[in-house]
Amino acid sequence: MPSIMRYVLLSPFDAINHAICAVATGGFSTQAGSIAAYNSLAIEIVTMVLMILGGTNFLAHLMLLSGKFKNFFSHIEIKSIAIIILIATVFSILILTPFYGGSFSLALRYGSFQFISAITGTGYQSIPSFLGLPAAFYGILVIGMIMGAGVGSTCGGMKQYRVALAFKSLFWSVKDQLFHKNIIRKHYINKLGNKMVVDKDDISQNYAFLQFYIMVLIVGTLIFSAFGYSLEDSLFEFASALGTVGLSVGITGYNAHPLILWTSTLGMFLGRLEFYVIFIAISKMFIDLTRKKVNRYQNI
């Protein structure tokens, strides 16, 4: 069992590289074992803070630096990611405590670090390998990788604003059913210190994006599982690629099948560039080309 406390001094080169990659949520390390190579609680705590900062909307950073603390903490993404991290950490502790021989401290240490690494899309590892970990903990990390952190940050995934709006709209829908249908209500969401009106078009577009994301996730998972990998490992691996996270259970590697590598590559490309917008742009391009061909034939 790894020790709880261990103090390690990083070289300036290692410190700069890890700090840059933590804020940029890139996850690259100068060590083959990532953050786990140091086995240092102090390094992990600093890295978690940097990962959270990197996964926060940079306009929210501006509010914080300007002293607008009320606007910062009322921002929908700040509240949602804080609640999600808290809930995920509690469940991680319950799952990992028996795995680490009843050690609450180790369960808290590794559970919180890995979930923050997953939800911010960083991909740093504080444990040597994910193989052998409880399947329920896999599920928690997959949820984090799918959700992602803040809009306007360096992370991937669905983004917290869309996730929060989905839950808000579900609450509004249930609430509206409980009151008289002739009453017209406006729904608001606090975004960067401003109350923004949310209409039906905003909600429908948000659900369209989330559904499209899930569809791509399912297709990628099925492609991975077609090569004999378990559904659990396939979902974890492709959720990591689509969320541009970088955590792996060993499916993606230099010796992986070309189709797996190309599927991961496409997933990382789409996940990094807001693939919903990409598909709309591609669809519009084909529509424009079709219209030009039709006009050309009409002029003949």
- State yes or no: pLDDT of 1 exceeds 70: no
Residue 281: its pLDDT value, please? 77
Higher pLDDT, 223 or 199: 223
Give the span between the Cα atoms of 243 and 135, in whole angstroms.
20
Residue 181: its pLDDT value, please? 65
Residue 162: its pLDDT value, please? 92
Band the pLDDT of 196: cuts 50, 70, 90: confident
Residue 85: its pLDDT value, please? 95
Give the span between the Cα atoms of 266 and 275, in whole angstroms.
10
Residue 294: its pLDDT value, please? 65
Band the pLDDT of 7: cuts 50, 70, 90: low
The pLDDT tens digits for 68-92 are 888 888 899 999 999 999 999 999 9
Mean pLDDT of 228-234: 93
Band the pLDDT of 26: cuts 50, 70, 90: confident
Helix axes 231-242, 258-272, angle to 10 degrees: 40
Domain spans, the chain:
12-147, 160-299
Task: Kindly report the CATH class assigned to 160-299.
Answer: mainly alpha
Looking at every residue in the chain, the average pLDDT score rounds to 88
Band the pLDDT of 179: cuts 50, 70, 90: confident
Band the pLDDT of 6: cuts 50, 70, 90: low
The pLDDT tens digits for 96-109 are 999 999 999 999 99
186 neighbors 203 (Cβ within 8 angstroms)? no
Number of Cβ within 10 Å of residue 288's Cβ equals 10
Mean pLDDT of 129-157: 90
117 neighbors 52 (Cβ within 8 angstroms)? no
Mean pLDDT of 200-215: 90
Exposure on the CB side of residue 184, measured as CA atoms within 13 A: 2
The pLDDT tens digits for 155-165 are 888 999 999 99
Mean pLDDT of 171-178: 83
